[in-house]
Every structure is written in structure tokens, then in C-alpha cells.
Amino acid sequence: MTSLRRALGAVRRLGDGVRDPAFRAFVQQVDGGPLHVCPPVQLLPDGEAAFARMLRAIGDARVEVLLETYILRDDRLGVSVQTALIDAALRGVRVYVLADAVGSLATDDDFWTTLEQGGVTVRHFHRLWHHPLDALRRDHRKLLVCDRTIAFTGGMNIGEEYGSSIRSRHDAWRDTFIEVRGSVAGELAAVFAEGWDRARGPVLPGLEYVSWAEGRVHTPAFAERLLHSSPAAVRALQARLQTAWQRRVGKRRDRRRGRRVRRNAEQAGDESPAVLVLDPRPGRGQREMLTVLAALAVAARERLWITTPYFAPPARALRLLVSAAQRGVDVRILVPGDRADVPLVRHAAHGAYQRLLDGGVRVYEYQRATLHAKTLVVDGYASLVGSSNLDFRSFWLNAECNVLLFDDACGEALEQSYKSDLEGSIEITRDVWATRSLGHRLADRVAYMLRWAL
């Protein structure tokens, strides 16, 4: 803890904050992964536009489609995705779908059967009868990778409420996705492979990653040999390669790098736009994710704007936000209003409002739709888009996927989107907050005390 404080103190003293090359070096060292060259990205804050681009990418795929999501509904949008995936499989594309077993519990069995009959390989993450002791550990990632050259990630599940414009549906959800290209798409394919491995999916060719289930390094050559071997040969090959040395190496790399092995990254220079993958899951990468979030807060110099649907962070996070505001940083938190989908979590957020408002942090509640976006932007330059919420479940129980971008164009686009969202929000001021009822105050206090269990 002392070394972490010392490191964050050094980050706070960086003259250029998140724009300082030393900040990039710090977060890269913390996470252990590469800073990929970042071709122009496409920020997708509108569900209709996001899913139109995703369906187009599936339609253009020629080799492989990897889809990972917490919720895959069998509504009209889900069926349109289902049709696109089956069409790809019929073209000879390898198509793999990984859905969380609890998140997608309401989806009818016929939906999955239709996918499988159409040539799509389907797995469900942490089925309760396979992993009864891991029932609380969910796959919260939302990820689409096509041909390992183009990828989409963010907060959107696959359902009509996400894929419809807030202007045309009274029950729409406001969320954000992002489209990235280049070598980072290959790393996101390895993120998929980790969850796929945990869900007992067949080996994916050409990927190197640390197995979640076994803690062993899987190499592309190993995967290729498995693909073309008989079941008996596969078992023999696995037994032969599963030596004590390999187990030791795999676990050591997993601990040191905090994730699967990475190869073939187009490394970004100090000044060029760059992207870093942050994909914590139970057992690895969680402290690294928290450290990067803390570093972003202490490195902010002008603006720190956060959007989150579930805001129930530890007290240390509140101290970091207040500290930034007291340094003169414009710190803003955008959270759901009356249309929040989990009222208890909203009350937990309310339990933190007073401390934030007293410390100079500005708080807004979104009114146009159900807010579900998870984004952060610092000084119009460092942007975080992904699936992680600011709550205990995302910090410690869920598998998540986020991308951290160092790019002026993306930062400006995210700030413009944030300003647009503020136009559909109300600001919570200290005077307004002082007028809430005694019952509201009591619910806020109780929910805040229970935030670790939400």
C-alpha cells in the first residue's frame, strides 16, 4: 500500500498529467499489457448506429466472428443478430457465441438451438450446475471481434432497449459502444478466448493466452495441433504438455502480467494515439484496474467526467474524486435518475452524494432514458469505455472488458457526448439535496452501508 501511495504521488506530480509520456508508462507497467497503435476509433453513443455497424462487420467477416455478451435476448434485435451470425456460418466463417448463463437466462432455448443448427458454436458462462461455487461470478463483458481486425466493446447488451434510439422508445436505454481496429482487436480476441476457455468451449486456432481454467499458456501451435487431432490424441497431447514447468510458467506469467499472454502488438510511440486493454476478471487484473482508475483521477488537471449507471464505490474512491475537485479539477458524475433499473443501487449512490457535493464534485442525474453507459474522460485526452461499473460487483466479481484510449479525437468526441447527456439531465445541488425526505435519507444510508453486497 505504501508503494502504491508513493507511485500515485509521483503521478500527481506529473506536469502534463495524463498527457505526460510518464503516465502512459505508468499505466502500462501497472497493467502489464501493450499500448497498441490506435487507428481512428468510432465512438458509438447511439444504439441504432452501434448495432448497424456491428451487423455490417458480421456481414463482412470472412474467417471468424467472436461474440461475447452478458445478455443476448430473443427479441427483434437479438433475432437480427442471430440471423447475421447464421449467415456468416453458412459462408464458412467460424462463429462462436459466449453468453452469460444468468444474464441470458430469460432467452428461450429455441433461440440457442437455432444458432447451433445454423452452424454457430454456443457456450454459456458459469452454468450453475457446472460452477455452483462461482454463481456470483459473472461474465459481464460485451465484445464482438470480426476476423481479429475489427472489434466492438462497451456497455451494450443485445436487446431492443439498447438498440433503439432514445428518441423513438420510451423504455430505451442510453449506452455507449466503441469500434476499434488494428492489433488491439487481436488482443480482444484473446480476451474472448479466456472466457471461452472457462465455459468449456473448443480450442480457438491461432491465439496465445493463459487458460482461466488451468493457468497454463496456450500457444497458437498448441491450438492448431489440437484442432486437427482425434479426441484420444488431444488427451495425450494435453497430458504430455501439461508438465509442472508449463503450469509454473503459466501461473507466473498470469501473476506478473495480470492476464493472458500478449503477442504481435503494434506498439504505440510516446506521442501517437494509443489504446490499452483493461479486462479484469475474478482472480486476476482487478487490483490493476483499480490502480489505473486511481491514477486517472490523480493525473487529472482540468476535467474528470464520469458516467456510470451503478455508483457504489469504496470510500477511497470518493476521497480521490474530492481531492481532484479541491485541486481545481472540474469533476462531474453522471448517474441514473428516476428511470434507474436498480433502485437499491441508486440509493447507495445517493448515500455518497453529500460527501461529493461538500467536496466540490458536481453530480447529475440523467432523465431521458435508463442510463447504462460506463465511460470516463480526463482532460479531453484519456478516455475509458467499457463494461465496468463503479461498484463492488464489477471490481471483484465480474469479468469485464474496457479500453483506455490516449487520443484527442476520441476524448473530444466523448466530451461532446457527455455535454449532450447533460442537456437531458438535472444537476443535484446541495440546496436541493437538503430537501429530501427523512425516509429517503434513511434508505440512502442503509443502501450505502450495504453497497459491498449489491
Whether 267 maps to a domain, the answer reads: no
336 pLDDT above the threshold of 80 = yes
Shortest CA distance to 189 belongs to which of 174, 210, 176, 204?
Answer: 204
Whether 383 maps to a domain, the answer reads: yes
Pair 137, 282: CB distance under 8 Å: yes
Q: What is the 3-state secondary structure (H, E, C) of the chain?
A: CHHHHHHHHHHHCCCCHHHCHHHHHHHHHHHCCCCEECCCCEEECCHHHHHHHHHHHHHHCCCEEEEEECCECCCHHHHHHHHHHHHHHHCCCEEEEEEECCCCCCCCHHHHHHHHHCCCEEEEECCCCCCHHHCCCCECCCEEEECCCEEEEECCCECHHHHCCCCCCCCCEECCEEEEECHHHHHHHHHHHHHHHHCCCCCCCCCCEECCCCCCEECHHHHHHHHCCCHHHHHHHHHHHCCHHHHHHHHHHHHHHCCCCCCCCCECCCCCCEEEEECCECCECHHHHHHHHHHHHHHCCCEEEEECCCECCCHHHHHHHHHHHHCCCEEEEEEECCCCCCHHHHHHHHHHHHHHHHCCCEEEEECCCEECCCEEEECCCEEEEECCCECHHHHHHCECCEEEEECHHHHHHHHHHHHHHHHCEEEECHHHHCCCCHHHHHHHHHHHHCHHHC
pLDDT tens-digit series, residues 240-279: 444 443 444 444 444 434 444 455 677 776 778 999 999 9
Same-domain check for residues 358 and 305: yes
Same-domain check for residues 198 and 292: no
Whether 264 maps to a domain, the answer reads: no
Same-domain check for residues 114 and 200: yes
Same-domain check for residues 319 and 174: no
Whether 236 maps to a domain, the answer reads: yes
CATH classification of the domain holding 419: 3.30.870.10
Same-domain check for residues 154 and 249: yes
Same-domain check for residues 290 and 435: yes
Same-domain check for residues 88 and 159: yes
Domains: count for the chain: 2
pLDDT tens-digit series, residues 286-332: 999 999 999 999 999 999 999 999 999 999 999 999 999 999 999 99
| Band (225; pLDDT cuts 50, 70, 90) | low
Same-domain check for residues 307 and 208: no
| Band (450; pLDDT cuts 50, 70, 90) | confident
Same-domain check for residues 357 and 302: yes
> CB under 8 Å to 61, separation ≥6 — which residues?
88, 93, 146, 147
226 pLDDT above the threshold of 60 = no
Shortest CA distance to 34 belongs to which of 262, 290, 191?
Answer: 262
pLDDT tens-digit series, residues 374-405: 999 999 999 999 999 999 999 999 999 999 99
pLDDT tens-digit series, residues 86-128: 999 999 999 999 999 999 999 999 999 999 999 999 999 999 8
- Summary mean pLDDT of the chain: 88
pLDDT of residue 292: 96
pLDDT of residue 430: 95
- Mean predicted confidence (pLDDT) in 206-229: 65
**Residue range(s) defining the domain that contains residue 7:** 2-37+274-453
Same-domain check for residues 94 and 155: yes
Please tell me the distance from the alpha carbon of residue 215 to that of residue 252, in angstroms, as a whole number.
9
Whether 395 maps to a domain, the answer reads: yes
Whether 309 maps to a domain, the answer reads: yes
Same-domain check for residues 228 and 285: no
Type of residue at 245: W
Same-domain check for residues 117 and 174: yes
Helix pair 47-60, 76-90: axis angle to 10 deg: 10
Whether 304 maps to a domain, the answer reads: yes
